[in-house]
Chains A and B, each alone.
Chain A
Amino acid sequence: MTLFRLAFLSLKSRGMTVGLTILAIALSVVLFLGVEKLRTGARASFTDTISDTDLIMGARSGSVQLLLYSVFRIGNATNNVTWESFQDIASRPEVSWAVPISLGDSHRQFRVMGTTPAYFERYRYRGGRPLAFQQGRVMADLFDAVVGADVAEQLGYVVEDPIIVAHGLASFSEHEDTPFRISGILEKTGTPVDRTVIVSLEAIEAIHVDWQSGAQKPGAPTPVDRLREMNLRPKAITAAMLGVESPLQIFTVQRAINEYPEEPLLAVLPGVALQELWGIVGIAETALVGVSAMVVVTALMGMSAMILSGLNARRREMAILRAMGAGPWAVVALLMIEAILMGAVGAATGVVLLYLGLAAIQPWLDYTYGLFIPITALSAREGLLLVAVLAASALVSLLPAVRAYRMSLADGMMIKM
């Protein structure tokens, strides 16, 4: 009969109270780890969105803003980059490749992005993975469009379906006269690409031929055949992804762009801009972690109060143990073991609930927020958090344990009830 077994049996005999206490701990652990999983998941999801791109270039604004609109399609560009400036930068000897992107149009709730076919070679995500097609291929015709996996899934598109691109975001005025055809559907990536309609830069120009300042020019629209014959060289782009010959030259190119005399431009390293973003989001994250940690502490205080309130009723139990030769320290150990057991069962239950919950809400999070939380084993940090919960259980049990120590010294083996 070990102390451990004694503690276990004693807890079992108080099933209801102990069960509720454990549930409170479990739920607090779910919240704590859940916040942690969401936080790291969101970070990983952001970080995984772009890789192998050395610099992102756009009109001068904030580096976080540039990163957000160019890569994550969050917010809008304040200004465009002229085609000449882009050509200038792209032709620099240090620049090994440059992919322009043009944003601003939408298809249903999805953004439309104009780019060059090089985008499909150069855009990499999740540590260097290239885009892949589940159906069809890169656009070949002026009015071809490639759609991301979510676009295809949510709108039920297959290759060869016609689609209509609207000017501006959430716009009522649709470019009805220039219908596009889907040439390819991309595999799911877990990045904003899934929610993007990709067309050529020329196509973006073509649909704006009859438009000026966001309104259609009066008169008959230009026929499609005429459009095909027009010079559709873009006048401006929204941003560009750049690759540099050698990592050593990244800063040279960045400086050249930032000091570009013809036009105010900005170049950012995606990783650095992300760090800056985390710096901003970090405060909210810290608050969230802090609040969920407080919930764990509250649950553990509840456990301490529960043990404390049960002490008087257990004086006889302690006196019996003392008579059997247990020292007061054995009583202390017994109470601490009980607390740690409850903490451990609570933490384990919490982990199980966490994974059940993650499995349940994962598709919804992905669908609704484009946030993919991978179901992975607990990280070292999360494991450490669980150990901290156990340590805190032991710590909060000190209060009732010390009280029990005093009681059992005063009572000895005589039961005063």
Chain B
Amino acid sequence: MADLKAQIIEQLNLQEITPESIGDDQVLFSKEGLGLDSIDALELIVLLQQHYNIRIANPEEGPKIFQSVRTMAAYITAQQTVKA
């Protein structure tokens, strides 16, 4: 998950945040969490395509997938398992 956190920071240009400061279960899209916005959500979709060749087929799954770094990592692992 450390790599994924670093990728998120680079993709979203979160210059004042370190991978260590992002909790595995920290909510990504709330003011109490990482405070990401709708443009960040689009950038995360690009990140999945760019780094993992994963396209989200059902947009309604987005809120679940992007709830936290842990849920993103689980989704990536599941998709890679399906492809293997």
Asked if A and B bind, the verdict is no
**Contact residues of B with A, CB < 8 Å?**
none
